[in-house]
Amino acid sequence: MAKILNVHNLKKTYKSGDRELTVLDEISFAIEEGDTFAIVGPSGSGKTTLLGLCAGLDQIDSGTIELCGSELGTIDEDQRALLRNRHVGFIFQDFQLLPTLTALENVSVPLELQSGKNAGIKARELLGKVGLADRIHHYPSQLSGGEQQRVALARAFSNSPSILFADEPTGNLDEETGEKVVDLLFELNKEAGTTLVIVTHDLELAKKNQHILRLKGGKIVANGNIVLS
Contacts (CB under 8 A) with another protein, residues 30-49: 48
Would you say 180 and 145 are in contact if contact means Cβ atoms under 8 Å apart? Answer: no
Amino acid at 56: G
Nearer to another protein, 64 or 114 (CB): 114
CA–CA dist 152, 172 (Å, integer): 13
Look at strands 195-199 and 19-32 and give their pairing. unpaired
Q: Is 155 in the site for another protein (CB under 8 A)?
A: yes
Span near another protein by CB under 8 A; candidates 107-115, 125-133, 181-189, 221-229: 107-115
Stretch 109-138: interaction string toward another protein, x if CB under 8 A:
xx-xxxx-----------------------
> Which of 7, 12, 24 lies closest to 216 in space, CA to CA?
24
Residue (of 218, 185, 202) closest to 40 by Cα position: 202
Distances (CA, A) of 120 to 102, 126, 137: 12, 10, 12
User: For another protein, which residue of 12, 27, 40, 105 counts as binding (CB under 8 A)?
Assistant: 105
**100 counts as binding another protein under rule CB under 8 A:** yes
Q: Number of residues interacting with another protein: please give it, by CB under 8 A.
A: 37
Q: Which residues bind another protein (CB under 8 A)?
A: 48, 51-52, 55, 57-58, 75, 77-79, 81-82, 84-86, 88, 90, 92, 96-101, 105, 109-110, 112-115, 139, 141-142, 155, 159, 167
